[in-house]
Each structure stands twice: as C-alpha cells, then as structure tokens.
Amino acid sequence: MMYLAVLWTVSMLHVFTGWADNGDFARTFGFLIDKPFGWNTDVPDAGSADWQQRYFHVWMDSWQVCSHPPCVEHLYSFSTHKIWMVIQLLSSIALTGSASAYSVIAGSIPGRLAYAAAYTWLFMALRRHAGHRAAWAYLILITPVALSSSFIAFLNSFFEEQTMIVGLPMLGACLLMFRARGRRRHALAAFGLGCFIALSKTAYFALPLVLAPFIASAFGRRATACAAVLATVIALLPSVFGPNTDINKYHALYFGILSDLKTHDGIEVATIGNKPVLAACVSNMGYDEAGMQCVRDAQATYLDTVRVALAHPGILPVMAWHVLEKGSQIELPGLGMSLRDAPSFAKAPLFRLWSRMYAHRLNTLILGAALVVTCLAHTRRISAVAATGLFFAAWGALQYVLVLADGFMEIEKHLIGANYCLSFAGVLFAAALCASTASVAVRGARGWRSSSAGIDAGAGWAGALPGTAERAFDAAGMAVDERGAAAARVEESVSA
C-alpha cells in the first residue's frame, strides 16, 4: 500500500500536464463550453497571437460555460464521453463554486481518482487471483505506464480518448476476475464497460466484438455474439452519419495508400475504375482550404481504397510497416503539454521513461508475444492473466488496422489507444510469465521435498531392515529345514 500511495502522490505532479487543442475540442465540448474564459470568440484569426495560444502550443484551464447548457445545437455527435464531461463540469462547479467558468484541473479530479482506482483495482484482482508475484510484477512494470505524460495528459483535455484511458484498466480488472472465477456478473460488468468505451469514440466501435470471445462462456456464444454485433452497430452509427466521413474517406485514399504508393514505389495511379485520380491532391490533408477543395473534387470512397489495394497488393506490407513505425511513438508531435504560466513536469525523465522505452519497437515485440500466446491458447488452457493480456493485445492490433480508415492523418494520436492497450498487454504477459515461473518453481520445490521425504522414509525402512531381515531369514531357514525333513521321511517310507 505504501508503494501505491507514493505512486499516486507522484502522479499529482501531472496536475499541470495536459494536451493543447489540435482543433478537435469543439467536437466534444460544444454542447457545454462556449470559448476560453474572457475571450470574445472561440476561434481567433489564424496567425494572430490568440490563435498561437488557442491551438497546438499550450493548453488552457479556464473556459466559458455556454449560457444555457446543454447547448444541443452544438452537440455535433453522440458520445458517452459527453456523459463523462457532465460529471467533470459538476466537479468543477463543486470545487470552484462557479457555474459560468469551467476549470479543466478541477474537472479532472473525478478522472484522476478513477484513474488511480482502476490501476489499483487491477493490482488487487491480480493479487487475489494470480498471486503476489504476478501482482507485484504488474505494479512495478505498470508504474512508468501509469506515470507516462503521454497518457495521463489526456485527463487535462477534451479529447475523447480520456474515457478509454480511465476505463480500460477497469475493464481489464473485470475480465481478469471473470476468467479466474467464471462469475457472470464480472463478464456483464466487462461488457458494459466495453460498450461505454466503444460509444465514447467512433474509432473504438469494434471493441465489443473483440471482447465477446473472452466472455462468451458466461452467456453462450450466440447470445454474446448477438449482443456484441448490436453494440458494434450502434457504436458505428456516428461515423456513418458523421460530418467528417467524407474527409476520412479522402484521407484513407489520398493521405494513405496513394501517398505510400507514390513515395515508396514511385507509382502514380491515374484512375480508379472510371474515376480519375487528382495527382495534385495526393498527400494533401483535407482540412485547409486547398484540402477541402480536394475532398469535394475527389469524391473518395473506401471502395476506391480497396480497389487500389487489390491492384497493388505489394504496398500493404509497406503500409503495415509504416503504421508500426509510427506506432512506436507515443509522444504526440506538434502538441504542447504545458499550461501557460504554470510549472510543467511533463518532460521529467520518470514521466518520459515509458515513451523512450516504447520507441525501441516495443509495440512490435508485444504483438509478437501476443502471437505466441495465441498459438499456446490453441493447444492448452492459458491463465486468466495471459487471457486478459491477449484481449488487450487483440484490441490494440485491430486498432493498428482500423487507423488506416483515416490514412496517416495524425496517426500517432489515432494510435494512442492501441499503444495504451499494447502497454497493458506487455505488462500482463510479463506478469503471467512471473506467475507461471513461480508456479513451476513451487511445484519443483514440493516435488523435491516429496522426494526427500521418500528417501528419508526409505532410509528408515533400511535402518529397520537388519533385525527384520534376520528374523525373516531365520523363519525361511526353519521352513526349508522342515520341508527337507518331511521329504526325507517320505523317501524312507518309499524305500521300506
């Protein structure tokens, strides 16, 4: 408990660590937040001093709450993260006493408490169901993950990833308990958390499908599959009808596969079916004025991307390696983490330890370990810890594929959820290995003690052997003598 107390006390140094807005905040907070507190407008003129402060460089703590929340006209899209934002707003009002100004720091308190509780809950679950070695291996190895600036900074932001950062360790604890005890309520809690996270961000829509095989034994395969498909369809609806769908399709084609074909293989595709490819738009983002014109002119579809992939299948391994390479970076380029006029510890060595370790292709190593565990799972029953790690790895691996639905646009940020999952997977695989090694060592020690006891018992019998053997041999000798005498009498009678 002392270790946990120190860990979470140190994590409070991140109270001034957050992520600057990259332009996505308005999608999330528009139904509650109007603009930075004291500003005349939310979006200042590009290139102005206010614009430099508003976007990319620093994050701001104080925001103006809209006059009559919720402002439904600025809802943008449905997301369970908005439910979490209401809780944060209530926290800010309770701690600051102001209903007109929202403090990000005050609003983050419930998230920080839930964040610490989730990691601690998973530790307690491991200690109870997997043993002390597995639990302490997890706690020591997860420390740089829990303190990583790249992950914990989401608590001081309006990014939808925040729900995933807090919720996934809770989901992991529920799944671990179900795999260890087989109780339906744990599976139901895991599925509920999975659905909540899936509905927090459209990129996470497939989470229920990945979770389903790990909890199918609780409700039956058919019922679990039906529930998972229904939850996935509901989570996917915002992306189907969302206002950015056309931009995503454009990025997948022009900022994804066509870009890699041009830069890696020197191939410039002229047409896709009967549709001409706009050469000037390849590798152009769809958010500036020229890019938005490209989006309108290109009329890209995901089917176009599939057709290009089928025509040039050799580019797929190149794209996969490109994604893995980008995925090894969990520090988001181009986004500041500092609060203006406040101290920042985001770049402290301890808080950057995991990002520096992860940069050495840990994502690839963990995915390789997941492949080994998957092969083992087909030949033997794996432990609850390994199964939970395999879930995290499977979900992280799928996100590495789904990320290409937006091409290589802000790919490091789009992979943050995948890398968070893979971080947990790597730690849980190591914890499972520690538990397995400890179990083998214990069985070996018990076997040695049993052998020793057997040898000691044998020695005791051997010590008792001389007297016993003497009596046995005497008895045997007497029996032989009697049989010999009887045989002699028979011979005499026959002779007579």
Q: What's the CA gap between 252 and 290, in Å, rounded?
A: 17
In the three-class reduction of DSSP (H, G, I as helix; E, B as strand; rest coil), residue 157 is classed as coil
Residue 493 lies in a domain: no
Phi–psi pair at 6, nearest 5 degrees: -65, -40
Number of domains in the chain: 1
Say if strands 275-276 and 338-339 run parallel, antiparallel, or are unpaired. unpaired
Residue 79 lies in a domain: yes
Q: Is the pLDDT of residue 62 over 70?
A: yes
Return all residues near 301 (Cβ < 8 A) that are at least 6 apart.
249, 253
Return all residues near 264 (Cβ < 8 A) that are at least 6 apart.
315, 318
Residue 249 lies in a domain: no
Residue 223 lies in a domain: yes
Sign of the torsion formed by the C-alpha atoms of 202, 203, 208 and 209: positive
Note down the domain range covering 336. 2-244+318-441
Residue 132 in contact with residue 88, Cβ under 8 Å?
no
Query: What pLDDT shows up at residue 44?
Result: 87
Query: What pLDDT shows up at residue 439?
Result: 58
User: 481 falls in which pLDDT band (50, 70, 90)?
Assistant: very low
Q: What's the CA gap between 332 and 322, in Å, rounded?
A: 16
Residue 251 lies in a domain: no
Q: What's the CA gap between 14 and 17, in Å, rounded?
A: 5
Name, of 29-43, 228-242, 389-403, 482-496, the range with top average pLDDT: 389-403
Residue 116 in contact with residue 11, Cβ under 8 Å?
yes
Query: What pLDDT shows up at residue 422?
Result: 98
Query: Which tokens sit at 133?
Result: 């070695």
Residue 172 in contact with residue 41, Cβ under 8 Å?
no
Phi–psi pair at 158, nearest 5 degrees: -110, 15
Query: What pLDDT shows up at residue 485?
Result: 44
Residue 194 lies in a domain: yes
Say if strands 58-59 and 338-339 run parallel, antiparallel, or are unpaired. parallel
CB atoms within 10 A of CB 185: 12
Q: Is the pLDDT of residue 176 over 60?
A: yes
Q: Is the pLDDT of residue 479 over 60?
A: no
Residue 385 lies in a domain: yes
Largest Cα span, the chain: 142
Q: Is the pLDDT of residue 260 over 60?
A: yes
As a whole number, mean pLDDT of residues 288-304 equals: 92
Phi–psi pair at 108, nearest 5 degrees: -80, -10
Crossing angle of helices 362-377 and 315-327, in 10° steps, is 110
Q: What's the CA gap between 142 and 198, in Å, rounded?
A: 24
Query: What pLDDT shows up at residue 20?
Result: 94
Any bridge partners for residue 272, and if so which? 275
Q: What's the CA gap between 233 and 119, in Å, rounded?
A: 30
Sign of the torsion formed by the C-alpha atoms of 470, 471, 477 and 480: negative
Query: What pLDDT shows up at residue 262?
Result: 92
Q: Half-sphere exposure of 423 toward its Cβ, with a 13 Å CA cutoff?
A: 32
**DSSP secondary structure, 409-444, as one string:** TTHHHHTHHHHHHHHHHHHHHHHHHHHHHHHHHHHH
Residue 32 in contact with residue 89, Cβ under 8 Å?
yes
Query: What pLDDT shows up at residue 438?
Result: 59
Query: What pLDDT shows up at residue 447?
Result: 57
| Lowest mean per-residue pLDDT among 327-341, 412-426, 430-444 | 430-444
Q: What is the mean pLDDT of the chain?
A: 87
Q: What's the CA gap between 406 and 245, in Å, rounded?
A: 9
Residue 295 lies in a domain: no
